[in-house]
Amino acid sequence: MNDDASRPTSFTSPESAEATALSEPPLERPRWSRVLLKLSGEAFAADLEHPEEGPHVGLNYRTIHTIASEIVSAYRVGVEIAVVVGAGNIVRGERAAEAGMERAAADYMGMLGTVINSMALQDALEKQGVPTRVMSAIAMAEVAEPFIRRRAIRHLEKGRVVVLAAGTGNPFFTTDTAAALRANEIRAGAVLKATNVDGIYDRDPHKFQDAVRYEQLSFDECIAKNLRVMDQTAFTFCKEYDIPIVVFNIARPGNIRRVVCGEKIGTLVGNF
């Protein structure tokens, strides 16, 4: 049995992983009982030992294992976690369309990219003793269950981390909007967007060194200022259904757990 979440074991079957994970006592109190964690796809390609060398493409299995261990650490606190993964490390529809592809076809490629990332994350989580299910918005019976809302909730109640693949299943959207949509469907308390910046800034911090980070922002401000850390559809949806969003840096060890426990890191967006 693997009782150390940070130590991978190649021999833990999903069934024994489930028994082990459910027997772990919670260490701290989570702020929400259920969250939707949105993971940057681009982060799956990053080389954590040489972060200055990014951006990368493809899958960095060491990094994915590290991200999984961060999720495991938050999971041990006792929060139910659904995950939506992006595919910025594989394909972004908008970029492929700029290069001449038909946008809808490019978007479907992007959604398939999220399935690849979801399967990689599932494997890394189960190697670390956490039971999981991948549910896909595009039918793919051989590799993932279809997304069925009530079934997803049941998996979460049983202590499984549910990885929601293929975005919304529709082109012309992004995984940010998928995260907002699924958060509402599964009644998550918050969308936690783990990305490659420390929060939301007044301007893109990758382009402007003097950009200033907000600790808290209203949805109205995000929309009015057209802050592009997340797409406007996702902000509008979360505003409408009053789902808070926390944007924070995935590259800092312990951040997912900190956010889950209510520590004030990154930027909190809500109907203030």
Ligand X SMILES: O=c1ccn([C@@H]2O[C@H](COP(=O)(O)O)[C@@H](O)[C@H]2O)c(=O)[nH]1
The region that residue 242 occupies, defined by phi over 0 for left and psi between -120 and 50 for alpha, beta otherwise, is left
Residues with Cβ within 8 Å of 13's Cβ and at least 6 positions away in sequence, in order, are none
Among ligand ATP, ligand X, none, the one that 36 touches (CB under a kind-dependent 5 to 8 A) is none
Nearer to ligand ATP, 41 or 129 (CB): 41
Beta strand pairing call for 132-136 and 161-165: parallel
Within residues 120-159, the interface with ligand X by CB under 6 A covers none
CA angle 189, 59, 75 (to 5 degrees): 30
φ and ψ at 140, to 5 degrees?
A: -155, 60
Closest CA to 113 of 178, 171, 165, 177: 165
Q: For the CB of residue 175, give the shortest distance to ligand X in the complex, in Å.
A: 3
- By CB under 6 A, name the one of 8, 171, 189, 270 that touches ligand X: 171
As measured in angstroms, the least distance from the Cβ of 195 to ligand ATP is 3
Closest to ligand X by CB, 120 vs 178, is: 178
The answer to whether 159 is a known ligand-binding residue is no
- Grouping H, G, I as helix, E, B as strand and the rest as coil, residue 3 is coil
**Shortest CB 42 distance to ligand ATP, Å:** 3
Binding footprint of ligand ATP on the chain (CB under 6 A): 40-42, 86-88, 176, 195-197, 200-201, 203-206, 227-229
In angstroms, give the least distance from the CB of 191 to ligand ATP.
12
Is the Cβ of residue 162 or residue 230 nearer to ligand ATP in the bound state? 230
Annotated ligand binding at 201? The verdict is: yes
Residue closer to ligand X by CB (options 126, 176) is 176
Q: Dihedrals φ, ψ of 8, to 5°?
A: -70, 145
Q: In what order do the strands lie in the sheet with 190-195?
A: 145-146, 132-136, 161-165, 80-85, 34-39, 190-195, 245-249, 267-270, 216-218
| Choice between 15 and 52, CB closer to ligand ATP | 52
Look up residue 215 and give its two tokens.
Answer: 């600790």
Give the distance, in angstroms, between the CA of residue 251 and the centroid of all CA atoms in the same chain: 13
201 binds, among ligand ATP, ligand X, none (CB under 5 to 8 A by kind): ligand ATP
Q: How far apart are CA 221 and CA 251, in angstroms?
A: 26
Q: Identify residues 175-194 at the interface with ligand X (CB under 6 A).
A: 175-176, 178
Annotated binding-site positions for ATP: 38-41, 88, 92, 195-196, 201, 204
Contact set with ligand X (CB under 6 A): 41, 86-88, 92-94, 106-107, 110-111, 113, 167-168, 170-171, 173-176, 178
Annotated binding-site positions: 38-41, 88, 92, 107, 168-175, 195-196, 201, 204
